[in-house]
Structure 1
Amino acid sequence: MSIPRFYIDAGLASGQQLELPEDLVRHAQVLRLEAGDALVLFNGHGGEYPATVEEMGKRKVRVALAEHCAVNRESPFALTLIQALSASDRMDYTMQKAAECGARCVQPIWSEYCSVKLHGERADKRLQHWQQVAVSACEQCGRTAVPVIKPLQKFDDAIVNADPCGLRLLLSPMGARKLDQLPPTASGATVLIGPEGGFSAAEEQRAIDAGFTPLWLGPRLFRTETVAPVISALLQARYGDLC
C-alpha cells in the first residue's frame, strides 16, 4: 500500500509533533493507521514532510514530522480554467481532474445555457465541497500545492477579471485556431469552458472582444466534464511538465 498523504492547512516544521484535525483523524481511522505507520503531510507552501504516527486514538491522532523534503511536483505552466457550471457529479469530476492535471486555479461561472443554478448558502457549500475535491485529488496525485477554487462569478465578470498575462483561449466548436497554431512558448493560459449546451453566440463574441482566441479541439464534441482534463493535458504537454 502506498504511503498516505494528508493536506493540512497549518504551519509545519521539521521535528514538530502535532495532533491532526478532526477531518484527518477520521481519514486516518478509515485507512486503519496504527502507531508507527508512515504518512506524508503537506500544507501547500512547498515540499512535504514525511511523518510517523506516534499515537492513534479514537478521537486523537498525534504525528511526528521528519525533515522537510523540498520536492516540487508543480507545473511551471500557470493554468486557469474558467468552467461553466454543470451537474454536481460532472462538476466534481472537472475539479478532480483539473487538480490532477496541474491547474492552479478554477473559476466556476454562470453562463446563459447553464442548467444548474446556485445562490447564497448553497453556492458557498458547493464551493467548499469543490475545494475539498481538489484537496483530495492533490493528496492522491502527489501535488505539493492545491489549486484555488474561486467563488462563482457571472460570465461577463469572469472574462473582465481574467488574467491579462498568458494565453486567453475560448474553447469553441467553431474555433478559428488549432492547438498547433498557438505560440510556440507560453508561461500560462486562461481557458473558457462552456456548459453542456456550450456558450451562446453572444457570449462567444463578448469573449473574443475581451481578447480570447477561439480554439478548435477537433471534429468530435466533448462532454463539458471531459473538456477540462483534455485541454489541461494538451497545454501541459505543449508548455508544461507533461512530456
Structure 2
Amino acid sequence: MSETLHAADWFALHGKMPRLYVPAEFSVGAILTLPEGPARHVTRVLRMGVGAPLVLFDGHGQEAGVCLAEVGRKHTTVAIEAIWQGSGESPLAVHLGQAISKGDRMDYAIQKAVELGVAAITPLYTERGDVRLKGDREEKKLAHWQAVAASACEQSGRAVVPPVYPPKTLDNWLAERHEPLRLMLHLATGNAFDRQDNPASVALLIGPEGGLSDVDINAAVAGGFTPLTLGPRVLRTETAPVVALTLLQHHFGDV
C-alpha cells in the first residue's frame, strides 16, 4: 500500500468499516498504538481481531487506512497502510454561538451541529440562560462537549473535529465576530437567504430556552447580526441550530 491510495480504493478493498478519532501523526508503514478509548472500543465492543481493517482520522483532515497489528491486554497497535485527505468538510464555515442548556440538550445541539458541518462552536452565557459553569465543572463540561463533537465526526464521516471553545459571555463572543453574514434566531421578519453573494463564513447565534432578552438582541444587532425567523412555531434551543444550519447549508453550503 502507499500514501497515494485514495479512500475509494481502500474501501473497495475492505468494504465498510469503523472510523475512529485518533489524534496522532500518521505515516505509511508506521505502527501506531491506539489510545485507551479507541483500543477498548475496537477490542471489547467491536471484538475485532488481528488483521481487521479500520479507518482512523486525526481531527485535522487526514485519514488513514490501517489494519490491527496486535491486540493485547496492555496495548493494541495498528499498521498504517494508506493515508488520504478527508472530504467531508463544508465549503461554508459556520461558527455557532449556542446558549448553554441543561442536561443532554447541549449534547444534542453540538452533535447535530457537527453532523451538519459546523466549523466551530462556542457555548454562551446569556442573560436568560440558567446554566453557569465555573472552575473544574466548566473544564469537565468542555472536555465532554469536545468528545461529543469527535464522536459526531466518527459517525458522519468528517475528518476535521470542529473546536468547542471555552464558554464565554455573549458580549465577548459578539466582539470577536467578523463573519460577513451574522444571524441570530429571533421571531422577526425578513429573509436572510435572499442574497446575491454566497458568504464563505457565517456566525449563527442561538439563544436559551427562554429566548434572547432585549439586551441580548440589542447587543447582537449592534454587532451586525440580522434577526432570522424559522417560521411561526417556537423551536427548542437544541432544535433551532439543526433547522438553521440545514437552511444555511442548503443555500450557501453543500446540502
8 Å CA contact 1:15, 1:64 repeated in 2 = yes
Q: Which moved more, 1:67-76 or 1:127-136?
A: 67-76
Q: Does the 8 Å CA contact 2:60/2:161 hold for their aligned counterparts? A: no
| Structure 1 unmatched ranges of 5 or more | none
Deviates more, 1:134-143 or 1:12-21: 12-21
| DSSP-derived class of the 1:241 partner | coil
Aligned-partner SS, 1:217: coil
**CA 1:152–1:183: 2 relative to 1, 3 Å:** farther
What RMSD, in angstroms, separates the aligned Cα atoms of the two structures? 1.4
Shift of 1:182: 4.1
* TM-score, normalization by structure 2: 0.90
Match of 1:5 in 2: 19
Q: Which of 123, 126, 137 is equivalent to 1:122?
A: 137
Aligned to 2:4: none
1:194 aligns with 2:207: yes
Distance apart, 1:144 and its partner CA: 1.1
User: Which residue number corresponds to residue 151 of structure 1?
Assistant: 166
What does the per-residue CA deviation read over 1:170-229, in whole Å, with 9 as the maximum and x for residues that have no partner?
1101x2322443454111100110000011011101110111111111111110000111
Equivalent-residue separation in structure 2 for 1:153 and 1:182 (angstroms): 31
* CA offset digits 1:104-136 (Å, max 9, x no partner): 100101011112221111011000000000000
Instruction: Identify the residue that residue 92 of structure 1 maps to in structure 2.
Output: 107
Preserved CA contact (<8 Å) 2:192 2:226: no
1:44/1:146 contact within 8 Å kept:
yes
Determine whether 1:19 maps to 2:33: yes
1:168 maps to 2:182: yes
Aligned residue in 2 for 1:204: 217
* Number of residue pairs aligned between Structure 1 and Structure 2: 240
1:34 equivalent to 2:56? Answer no
Q: Does 1:215 align with 2:213?
A: no
Contact 1:107 1:151 in 2 (8 A): yes
Percent sequence identity over matched residues? Answer: 42
Cα distance between partner residues in 2 of 1:131 and 1:45:
14
Structure 2: tracts of 5 or more residues without a match: 1-14
Runs of 4+ aligned residues of structure 1 deviating over 6 Å after TM superposition are none
TM-score (norm 1): 0.95
